Structure 1
């Protein structure tokens, strides 16, 4: 059952989401060749706790770390380790935090140094597909409308849309109804209601949509070994329309990126 949130609860969830957004913004300056994902994980845990929050992933379903760190062909749920990042890698960082008893959940795929143009295109298309999906999150639409929009946009570029991994509702538990696939058919699935909050998170593979789960029980890679990208926002329905609670603004500032891509999804100014 979809759980609607009050305006007050949505504002508390915005605070939780912004903890994660600030964490990713801090990490954006640290992602560089020679750095290990375990080092980045330690920075993230300390930063989240300094903001009066709790790492949302640490211990969740027995996950051992603060961040899911998934380089190159890893799709999601990669476990931080002591292997240094290399020039030309990409790294998907998925981060969660709990504040005010609510979860924030947010992901971004970073390039490590200079990356190949075809890999940069994968990142650009995946991030744009996120906003294509968010536009469909409005009262009266259905889960399939979001999934169809993301799938249609992504597959036009020849990329594979992962089927086994999906976005989700979010609140005082990390995973609530409804599941939010990145594929689907228009007019199908649960109907969206005022006050619902979901994490929309396209996971896009450069090659096949097929994936493989590793023996550690967490790490998931593309079946063909080609790169995968992952971007995620927390989004509420407010006055019938999508309102982004998380933001890539801190990342953009750290990387010197100028964009207005989030402006259409903000019904009130973002307080930094």
Structure 2
């Protein structure tokens, strides 16, 4: 099945109000990491599953699929009792934690329209904000959203690596997701071209580019699954060996 590319898109003010407020609808969470609820930030690494990261854009009814074959992320899980959002912060990947070949912010093997090699540059930190119920069981699938810093819009620039003039756009917004305690997997599942993620600007300053397949205001979908864990051997995020694990309860 064809994979798609990166995603993070814009959002009308009313829509973001609903999404962000939902992140605070539940009581504070007790966040346990590695068996402890002591207040602390715990570094985690995450790697996309072999299916990679899918992204698509709906431009005037034409769907354009793009993809990244391998995405590494790192961040901090915020453990503690009665923790409010964010539950975790997703940060740019650093060279010191990436002994393998360093590719930008570690979004690798990304392809866009007509097979163009693409570069993805997330802007600042992203956040994981839980909004669903969490029981004492360690098998919950907890609903939430991926947002930008402070609960604002996440953003990412996506452009053709060798020829930015051919394809260059910014996506912004909020993406639905969930965290599966049983598998320690973070799923991003923003589908249906809801307008939660949109194209907010084009690099050339025009209304559309990427062969006319991506335009300002287009809705985007974003899907992918990340295996979350910590690696004690060489900090190689392609070989997660020590699961944290992370559990939430109310």
TM-score by length of structure 2 reads 0.29
Whichever structure has more helix as a proportion of its residues is 1
Whichever structure has more strand as a proportion of its residues is 2
Pick 1 or 2: higher relative contact order, CA cutoff 8 A, min separation 6.
2
